[in-house]
């Protein structure tokens, strides 16, 4: 049972990484971002990644899984 759960979490994590990359690509290639400088582009990319990590951390704490780390 433990092995099935760990595979399930690995699969979900893999799908979330792919979804994050696709979402970042869509947002950062929009018309709004094309006029930004290189610094602003990379800053917005870092902010999107920070928001994803923050969301994952909040979800992990909310579910109680952080105690098992």
In this predicted structure, the answer to whether residue 6 has a pLDDT above a threshold of 80 is no
CA 39, CA 54: separation in Å to the nearest integer?
Answer: 22
pLDDT at residue number 65: 65
pLDDT in tens, 31-67: 777 777 778 778 877 888 888 888 878 877 777 766 6
What is the domain range of residue 33?
2-68
CA dist list (Å): 69 to 19, 24, 30, 31, 64: 24, 28, 38, 41, 10
pLDDT in tens, 16-25: 788 878 877 7
In this predicted structure, the answer to whether residue 68 has a pLDDT above a threshold of 70 is no
pLDDT at residue number 3: 57
State the total domains in the chain: 1
């Amino acid at each position: 049972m433990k092995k099935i759960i760990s595979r399930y979490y690995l699969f979900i994590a893999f799908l979330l990484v792919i979804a994050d990359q696709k979402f970042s690509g869509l947002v950062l290639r929009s018309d709004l971002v094309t006029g930004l400088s290189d610094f602003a582009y990379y800053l917005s990319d870092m902010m999107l990644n920070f928001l994803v990590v923050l969301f994952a951390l909040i979800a992990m704490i909310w579910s109680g899984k952080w105690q098992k780390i």
